[in-house]
Amino acid sequence: MTTPSRFEALFNRRILICVLTGFSSGLPLFILISLLSAWLREGGVDLKAIGLLALVQFPYIWKFLWAPLCDRYGLGLGRRRTWMLATQLALLAAVPLFGWLSPGKDMAAITGLAVIVAFFSATQDIAIDAFRREILKDEEQGLGNVVHVNAYKVAGLVPGSLSLILADHVSWEAVYSITALFMLPGLMLSLMVREPESSRRAPATLREALVEPFHEFIGRKGWAGALTLLAFIFFYKLGDSMATALATPFYLDLGFSKTEIGMIAKHAGLWPNVAGGLLGGVWMVSLGTHRALWVFGALQAVVILGFAWLSTAGHDPVGLAAVIGAEAFGVGLGTAAFVAYIAAATHPAYTATQFALFTSLAATPRTLANALTGFLVEGGDIKLGDTLLFHVDALGWERFFWLCFAAALPGMLLLFKVAPWHGERDSRGFP
């Protein structure tokens, strides 16, 4: 019997499953980020209102509150597959409803529906993250998460490319219905795969599912170590998250049509994304997660400056393709190393809850900081009811992207503590 090569050992059925988990996880988020913002912008909604709509993504922040329910309960399909299937069916039904609403006139209903979609999407992420963590072996975590993250990004081509192109030719009702159908591959995966062996051992009580994940994490890291790790998770993706929050309105403001954005801006990121994923996955096996966080993190910060340059170049299709390709390559690598790190930081007994806690914190900048991005670009008064909280002077697009670059630096500095270049794992395999 021949021993499989390292390549054959890594590129297996479990890694291929990560393609579908990533695609299914990314699609609803990019509907909220890319498609919804383009639809609203075309409908005459201003940037400040579009930016504030990022607040509907609060379920991604608070998902750790109901993650213990996903850890504790499951029906006949098992804890992971039950929640995966239920949320995918809900998303398949909810997304087409956007097409029956009108930007501007139905903003309250659009906001409510966006919250519902975000809730189902966040709950799907809880189940998918735990499922992926449990099916992958320790040596596969790096590559598996690279594949997942890149499939996650590729999913953005549907609402950010295909759907935008369709919107120039068919009604928005048809666009949202067709986009929702791309949830079907993930739904079929949930029906066909087997439940991970480790996920069959559920916490004995709901109290155990609620308390023990946090008790174990604090006990393992100590308060200082736990707070430092959580600060790193918050800051590491802050810069690139802010930079891409208003990407589609940014391209529209530069004079690109929706079809141009679909054909150039989005597809220019596909092959660099795939290349970055393959290179990053293989590279992380030998480089290690800690060093990958340094190398890939530096790349994801530098590519932000491409947007600053593009804001001065104007309607430049070649420049747009180059900037988007660099962003897809650099940010994709940074995200892959980041997700691999936090996956390894979870305890196998409490995967869903701890993973949800970490990813909830990672989503906080995307929700809170991104809600202010429209004000940072255009300026304006931020009010609570009729009370003026503070006034924001307009930065414009170029200075805004320089600010995003600066926002990426605190996360890099925290690497000295959480992932030193020569750092080693402890005896239990945790970073």
Domains of the chain (ranges; CATH) run: 6-418 (1.20.1250.20)
138-147, 299-308, 342-351, 386-395: which is most confident: 299-308
- For residue 14, give the nearest of 147, 171, 122, 202 by alpha carbon: 147
pLDDT of residue 83: 93
CA distance 269 to 156: 10
Phi/psi of residue 393, nearest 5 degrees: -75, 145
Residue entry with tokens 């690497």? 415
Residue 72: half-sphere exposure toward Cβ, Cα within 13 Å: 15
Average pLDDT over residues 397-423: 90
pLDDT of residue 389: 67
pLDDT of residue 120: 96
Those residues with Cβ within 8 angstroms of residue 269's Cβ, 6 or more apart along the chain or in another chain: 153, 157, 324, 325, 327, 328
CA distance 11 to 7: 6
* pLDDT at residue 199 greater than cutoff 80: no
Rounded to the nearest 10°, the torsion over CA 88, 90, 96, 100 is: -160
* pLDDT at residue 5 greater than cutoff 70: no
Q: 335: part of which helix (H) or strand (E)?
A: helix 317-344
CA distance 78 to 84: 10
Which residues pair with residue 381 across a beta bridge?
391
